[in-house]
């Protein structure tokens, strides 16, 4: 099987061809030729206006829902949604039923991935059933192939658990991801706490709930590594889906001190504020909640200066039974795999090159994945996209089983054309 990409701009800082427009021939899953013009006949030709190609994108935060909640999403629909969004690798959270906390559960995802265009990289639970009380067998899970450790949608509320996890993972170069939220402060909250929540009469989730845990975790990180002579340079602690201006400041300061910390934001956090909840659209009910214009400006600044390493989808499928309810009874969550790049490209103010770095080089480094580049002889793990194409997102563009997205009808900039991985095109 041969695929020919015609006149594509290469976006890859690790390649000598970065920024150049070339033809690329892919033969049996490998890049066989890169040239100004390739006349070889191919089984598939991909061409269009202003096309770009990069190494395959990575999404570091996806709720799989399978096993246990297959009515919301199964692995087949998840892979289709990821491919439609330009992702060739996705990190799944352990909040399934049963929880991803055994070698068998890791093998379940890896076995499925072998035949797919999208690699599913399972993160394993830090604590049993993600309850924050007792440790899982993290060393065994690491050896079985867990890409990272996290309690996923459940913040690590126990400070001693978090500290010991950092200490346990250090010798094996493990990677800990935590969603920063002080759960007692956020209890029963429905949206960002502020003027809008007061006007709407809804219980708010204060910014302080996020910022307190960022402060706590950074202090514990500093304490855990204070007596270690040989410091690792890659991040050991990662904050998932930060949303406030103060959280960005705290992480920026920690990085300046040399602490091994990183963070991401969900793309949809750039598109809405708490003022958009006036119609009580449950598709806008997410956690962390949509904050203020000032917070969005801080997130954009954090992306620009490198404080925020990665952009994620925070894909969290919810069915009609979970969303078609009164606002305070509806579940949190939004699907995002199909729209993450377009939303980030539309609202982040980043250049295409900087944006692609967030999805490729940065994410791969944090996850300890091998470096990839676009070069002759390399395995073809690629995303093809048109960054300047404006299009309207419709329900027909949804590949997920669930439809909980506020972006239907929105005009976005940047469209994925296809992905190539494992000698497959989607």
Which tens digit of pLDDT belongs to each residue from 290-335? 999 999 999 999 999 999 999 999 999 999 999 999 999 999 999 9
DSSP 3-state of 143 = helix
- The whole-number pLDDT of residue 233 equals 75
- Per the listing, tokens 């969004």 go with 85
State which H helix or E strand residue 218 sits in: helix 207-225
Mean per-residue pLDDT, 117-146: 97
* pLDDT above 90 (res 71): yes
- The whole-number pLDDT of residue 1 equals 85
Separation of alpha carbons 402 and 393, rounded Å: 15
- The whole-number pLDDT of residue 278 equals 97
Band (pLDDT 50/70/90 cuts) for residue 33 is: very high
C-beta of residue 37 within 8 angstroms of C-beta of residue 416 = no
DSSP 3-state of 148 = coil
Whole-number mean pLDDT of the chain? 97
Separation of alpha carbons 418 and 423, rounded Å: 13
Helix, strand, coil share (%) of the chain residues, nearest 5: 35, 20, 45
State which H helix or E strand residue 57 sits in: strand 57-62
- Per the listing, tokens 């990183």 go with 262
Domains identified in the chain, total number: 1
Separation of alpha carbons 258 and 211, rounded Å: 20
422 contact partners, CB below 8 Å, separation of at least 6: 29, 116, 117
Mean per-residue pLDDT, 93-121: 97
The 10s digit of each residue's pLDDT in 110-124 is 999 999 999 999 999
User: Which candidate, 57, 55, 111, places its Cα nearest to that of 84?
Assistant: 57
324 contact partners, CB below 8 Å, separation of at least 6: 282, 330
Band (pLDDT 50/70/90 cuts) for residue 229 is: low
Has residue 404 been placed in a domain? no
Has residue 264 been placed in a domain? yes
- The whole-number pLDDT of residue 227 equals 74
What whole-number percentage of the chain has pLDDT above 70? 99
- In this structure, what is the dihedral angle of CA atoms 342, 343, 346, 347, given to the nearest 10 degrees? -160
Mean per-residue pLDDT, 146-160: 97
Burial 337-346 (b: 16+ CB within 10 A, else e): bbbbbbbbbb
- The whole-number pLDDT of residue 73 equals 98
C-beta of residue 299 within 8 angstroms of C-beta of residue 248 = yes
Separation of alpha carbons 242 and 171, rounded Å: 27
Separation of alpha carbons 28 and 3, rounded Å: 9
C-beta of residue 352 within 8 angstroms of C-beta of residue 387 = yes
Mean per-residue pLDDT, 74-99: 98
User: Which candidate, 84, 396, 105, places its Cα nearest to that of 92?
Assistant: 105
Q: Which residue has the higher pLDDT, 383 or 229?
A: 383
Separation of alpha carbons 85 and 419, rounded Å: 9
Positions marked active-site: 314
* Whole-prediction pTM: 0.97
Give the count of beta carbons closer than 10 Å to the beta carbon of residue 257. Answer: 9
The 10s digit of each residue's pLDDT in 244-262 is 999 999 999 999 999 999 9
Has residue 413 been placed in a domain? no
Separation of alpha carbons 24 and 102, rounded Å: 41
What whole-number percentage of the chain has pLDDT above 90? 96
Mean per-residue pLDDT, 91-107: 98
C-beta of residue 13 within 8 angstroms of C-beta of residue 361 = yes
- The whole-number pLDDT of residue 147 equals 98
Has residue 190 been placed in a domain? yes
CA distances from 200 to 68, 190, 197, 353, 426 (A): 35, 11, 5, 40, 44
- The whole-number pLDDT of residue 228 equals 74
Q: Torsion-angle region of residue 422: left (phi > 0), alpha (psi -120 to 50) or beta?
A: left
C-beta of residue 9 within 8 angstroms of C-beta of residue 20 = yes
Band (pLDDT 50/70/90 cuts) for residue 72 is: very high
Has residue 21 been placed in a domain? no
Has residue 270 been placed in a domain? yes
Report CA Rg, the chain: 21
The 10s digit of each residue's pLDDT in 358-412 is 999 999 999 999 989 999 999 999 999 999 999 999 999 999 999 999 999 999 9
C-beta of residue 255 within 8 angstroms of C-beta of residue 307 = yes
Two tokens, residue 346: 């539309």
Has residue 100 been placed in a domain? yes
| Domain ranges, residue 109 | 56-374
- The whole-number pLDDT of residue 252 equals 98
The 10s digit of each residue's pLDDT in 165-197 is 999 999 999 999 999 999 999 999 999 999 999
Reported residue count of the chain is 426
CATH number at residue 327: 3.20.20.140
C-beta of residue 60 within 8 angstroms of C-beta of residue 312 = yes
């Amino acid at each position: 099987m041969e695929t020919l990409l015609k006149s594509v701009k290469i976006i890859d800082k690790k390649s000598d061809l970065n920024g150049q427009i070339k033809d690329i021939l892919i033969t049996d899953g490998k890049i066989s030729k890169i040239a100004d013009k390739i006349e070889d006949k191919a089984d598939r030709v991909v061409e269009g206006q202003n096309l770009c190609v990069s190494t395959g994108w990575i999404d570091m935060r996806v709720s799989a829902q399978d096993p246990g909640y297959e009515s919301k999403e199964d692995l087949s629909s998840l892979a289709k949604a990821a491919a439609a969004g330009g992702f060739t690798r996705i990190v799944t959270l352990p909040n399934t039923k049963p929880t991803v906390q055994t070698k068998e559960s890791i093998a379940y995802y890896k076995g499925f991935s072998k035949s797919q265009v999208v690699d599913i990289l399972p993160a394993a639970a830090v604590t049993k059933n993600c309850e924050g009380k007792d440790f899982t067998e993290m060393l065994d899970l690491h050896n079985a192939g867990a890409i990272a450790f996290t309690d996923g949608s459940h913040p690590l509320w126990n400070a001693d658990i978090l500290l010991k996890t950092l200490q346990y993972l250090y010798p094996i170069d493990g990677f800990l991801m935590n969603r920063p939220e002080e759960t007692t402060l956020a209890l029963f909250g429905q949206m960002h706490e502020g003027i809008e929540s007061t006007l709407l009469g809804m219980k708010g989730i204060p910014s302080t709930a996020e910022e307190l845990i960022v402060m706590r975790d950074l202090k514990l990180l500093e304490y855990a590594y204070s007596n270690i002579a040989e410091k690792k340079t890659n991040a050991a602690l990662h904050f998932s889906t930060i949303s406030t201006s103060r959280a960005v400041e705290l992480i920026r300061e920690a990085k300046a001190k040399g602490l091994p910390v990183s963070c991401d934001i969900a793309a949809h956090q750039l598109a809405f504020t708490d003022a958009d909840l006036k119609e009580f659209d449950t598709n806008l009910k997410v956690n962390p909640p949509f904050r203020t214009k000032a917070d969005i400006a801080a997130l954009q600044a954090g992306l620009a200066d490198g404080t925020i390493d990665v952009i994620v989808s925070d894909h969290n499928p919810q069915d009609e039974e979970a969303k078609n309810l009164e606002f305070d009874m509806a579940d949190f969550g939004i699907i995002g795999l199909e729209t993450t790049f377009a939303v980030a490209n539309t609202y982040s103010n980043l250049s295409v090159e900087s944006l692609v770095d967030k999805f490729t080089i940065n994410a791969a480094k944090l996850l300890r994945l091998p470096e990839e580049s676009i070069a002759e002889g390399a395995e073809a793990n690629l995303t093809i996209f048109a960054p300047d194409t404006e299009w309207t997102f419709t329900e027909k563009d949804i590949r997920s089983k669930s439809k909980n997205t506020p972006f239907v009808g929105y005009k976005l900039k940047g469209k994925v054309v296809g992905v190539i991985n494992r000698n497959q095109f989607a």
